[in-house]
Copies of this chain bind each other. A is one copy, B any other.
Amino acid sequence: MKRVYLDYAATTPTHPDVVTAMLPYLNDTFGNPSSIHSFGQEAKGAIEEARETIAALIGAKNDEIVFTSGGTEADNFAIKGVAYANEHRGNHIITNSIEHHAVIEPLKFLERRGFKVTYLPVDQYGMVDPQGVRKAVSEKTILISVMHANNEIGTIEPIAEIGRIAKEMGVYFHTDAAQTIGHIPIKVNELGVDLLAISAHKLYGPKGVGALYVRKGTKVAPFMHGGEQERRRRASTENVPGIVGFGKAMQIAQNEMGTEAERLTLLRGGLIEGLLERIDDIQLNGHPRKRLPNNVNVSVQFVEGESMLLNLDMEGIAASTGSACSSSSLEPSHVLLALGLPHEQAHGSLRFTLGRETTEEEIERVLEVLPPIVAKLRSMSPLLKSRV
């Protein structure tokens, strides 16, 4: 039986047309874009074309796009870059408690080196309060960082509103858009962001390539020091096939975004409804409406996430959990805890993220397979003793 992949938020398969677009740049047009001979200039032309495509799609200028090795590097670059380039103006950064580790960990690193970070709380749906951001701004604030949409619970944050506040207060504003790029429309001016991090492998592009949008005039120190690539903002020989693939993936995503979002929203609705109907003591995590079209995150009481995942996997269904059992910390997802979930519910979460190949049949299959798995695990759960 064909396996069912419902973990598109973790990564996506590379689109066949993207692979086709990349191939010539592996072996034929393989030059180093920094070389002035024809091999180099052909490669240079290819990455500039990709830059143009991506810039146009998010309403940016070409030279505001800096290619990176992925979303994590883009976030590290934005955060450490603004911190180091602006520390003479202040050492305070504002973020919130449900950011991705690619934002939180660079901030923790900066805290160890003398910066101050405010982690704003979120409401029960994972929403950051723009007025909370406004209140947190002080004279020393140099950066606000709020993700566009959360990778675990799919909640879409009020970025445009925060963007207006940031502009008003004269503070740089970074958003991690790894989960939204190619899935919902993004225009940097409408969002009012100065920095925006994206990653290709979340939208059917290749792994190992991403970009940081840097609004003209924004003071950012380089993160990767070395050669003069990317207008001296990011050293290292450019990943030409990766960048070309990224451009192609963005183009395809832009064309299909509208219809695909609609289709996924319907499937998502069916999955949520089915789960709530067929399983007792289950709840939806994240915002009921302001959420990514492809995200379903539920907490199943009395059972632990990884054991559900393994059982699903044995049935050929791939999903994800916010339980910490597979990580080296024993704490469950900081995102679920920030919503106010008790630990055992956070440990009992399941995330299904839908994508291009997801069908109604696949959703139906999850709805058939999961209830008996939950029943089986609950029958061994000491948390449910009183009910047995």
Residues of A bordering B, CB below 8 Å: 3, 5, 7, 10-14, 16, 19, 22-23, 26-28, 30-32, 34-40, 69-73, 75-76, 100-103, 105-106, 108-109, 199, 201, 206-209, 221, 224-228, 232, 235-242, 306, 309-310, 312-313, 316-320, 326-328
Contacts and interface: CB of A to CB of B under 8 A. Distances in A.
A10 B27 contact: no
Q: Give the oligomeric copy count.
A: 2
A94 B23 CA distance: 42
A239 B30 CA distance: 19
Nearest to A236: B72
A232 B72 CA distance: 13
A208 to B, nearest CB: 3
A49 B199 CA distance: 25
Contacts of A27: 13-14, 16, 19
A84 B201 CA distance: 31
A291 to B, nearest CB: 21
B72 A3 contact: no
Nearest to A229: B72
Given A71-B237, A76-B224, A208-B239, 11 more contacts: A5-B39, A10-B32, A13-B28, A36-B310, A38-B318, A69-B69, A72-B225, A101-B226, A105-B226, A207-B238, A208-B242
Given A106-B226, A236-B102, A11 B30 contact: yes
Nearest to A109: B225
A27, A37, A38 interface centre (most CB from chain B within 10 Å): A37
A76 B70 CA distance: 17
B10 A40 contact: yes
Given A236-B72, A328-B228, A37 B309 contact: yes
Given A37-B313, A318-B39, A327 B208 contact: no
Contacts of A10: 31-32, 34-35, 40, 237
A106 B318 CA distance: 41
A236 B71 contact: yes
Contacts of A237: 10-11, 70-72, 199, 201, 207-208
A145 to B, nearest CB: 13
Contacts of A207: 237-242
Given A14-B30, A236-B73, A228 B36 contact: no
Contact of A14 (B7, B12, B26, B319): B26
A75 to B, nearest CB: 7
A100 B236 CA distance: 11
Contacts of A228: 101, 327-328
Given A69-B239, A237-B201, A76 B226 contact: yes
B11 A32 contact: yes
Q: Which 6 A-B pairs have the closest CB atoms?
A: A208-B239, A69-B69, A72-B236, A105-B225, A102-B226, A37-B318
A3 B326 CA distance: 52
